[in-house]
Amino acid sequence: MSGVLAHHRLRAALSLFGRRFAELGLDERAAAEAEARRSIDIEARVLASPEAAGIVIPDRTLEETIEDVRSRYDSPEDFAADMAGNGLDEADLVVALARELKVEAVLEKVAASVPTPTEEQVRGWYDRHPEKFDLPEIRLASHILVTVNAAIPENSRERAQARITALRAGMGGNLAEFRALAGRHSECPSALDGGRLGRIARGQLYPTLDAALFAMDEGEISPPLESELGFHLVLCETIFPAAVVPFETARSRIRDAMEKTRRKTRQVAWLAELMKRAPGIARATDPDPTGMEASHA
């Protein structure tokens, strides 16, 4: 059982602390150890439940899962070294993955009893949550930025303002021209993409820029605008008016979300009842009631 417990410790350490078990401090190890033993107990109870009877994981499914794990390493040697470094070998991993897959299959079986939401229930959820289907007005925008930096003479406030004013005065309002000027003159990383800011909702920009953008017409370029960064020219490329997502468009997404929530709720309730029916925490040295070596990824 030492390899089994090592596998649980590894998963618990990564989940709780983002590090290998061997890299943890004493208190962290104690927490990971407790979590590992708890997961062993839950897994053993699931696999010993009546719902687990008759569930068989196809060899092909197990092989594909194992291969997926191996593929995360640069070489077979790296894979073997990582397993060994965590007190595991490939045989431990095979057992662990087989058990994981069976636990998942049991939980899927439990969730399968949940009825699919009816059309009336889906429509009712849509009608009760109108705010979730209100699309705000969106503006597709680009900008040119000339920063203000008192430590750099050419970026003093006066010079920065003069530069942005000269750029605006020379513009003809052509999108291709704006992109080219942004690429040459803008001091924002967006210059690499022709000044593109993308789709902007109200409140995402500095207040001065935000107010100007949402007051412009499509294709309009703002006068020089000042923010905490410096001076900007803002281009309103496209306006997407506020709208409401129709029920026909939202139906499948709502149904999927409702079904997912119901399935999860059913699984959680089933696990809670399972823990009540089978008191006591399985220890890593206890015989496995399922007849398989315990492990949980």
> For 228-255, what is the mean pLDDT?
96
Q: pLDDT tens digits, residue range 62-105? A: 999 999 989 998 998 988 888 888 888 888 888 888 888 999 99
Q: How far apart are CA 182 and CA 195, in angstroms?
A: 5
Q: pLDDT tens digits, residue range 259-270? A: 999 999 999 999
> Regarding predicted confidence, which is higher, 198 or 4?
198
> Regarding predicted confidence, which is higher, 29 or 285?
29
Q: In DSSP terms, which residues pair with 134 in a beta bridge? A: 244
3-state helix vs strand vs coil in the chain, percent to 5: 60, 10, 30
Q: pLDDT tens digits, residue range 33-44? A: 999 999 989 999
Structure tokens of 118?
A: 């009816």
> For 129-155, what is the mean pLDDT?
93
Domains and CATH numbers, the chain: 2-112 (no CATH), 137-241 (3.10.50.40)
> For 42-54, what is the mean pLDDT?
93
Which range, of 115-119, 254-258, 285-289, averages the lowest pLDDT?
A: 285-289
What pLDDT is recorded for position 166? Answer: 95
Q: pLDDT tens digits, residue range 158-193? A: 999 999 999 999 998 789 999 999 999 999 999 999
> For 270-297, what is the mean pLDDT?
52
> For 216-234, what is the mean pLDDT?
96
Under 8 Å between Cβ of 10 and 86: yes
Q: pLDDT tens digits, residue range 15-24? A: 999 998 889 9
Give the distance, in angstroms, between the CA of residue 169 and the centroid of all CA atoms in the same chain.
44
Q: How far apart are CA 30 and CA 34, in angstroms?
A: 6
Average per-residue pLDDT for the chain = 89
What pLDDT is recorded for position 279? Answer: 56
Which range, of 131-145, 148-162, 281-295, averages the lowest pLDDT?
A: 281-295
Angle 95-101-105 (CA atoms, 0-180°, nearest 5)? 145
Which distant-in-sequence residues (6+ apart) come within 8 Å of 123 by Cβ? 247
pTM: 0.65
What pLDDT is recorded for position 5? Answer: 82
> For 209-215, what is the mean pLDDT?
97
Backbone angles phi, psi at 290, to 5 degrees: -90, -10
Which range, of 10-19, 78-87, 241-250, averages the lowest pLDDT?
A: 78-87
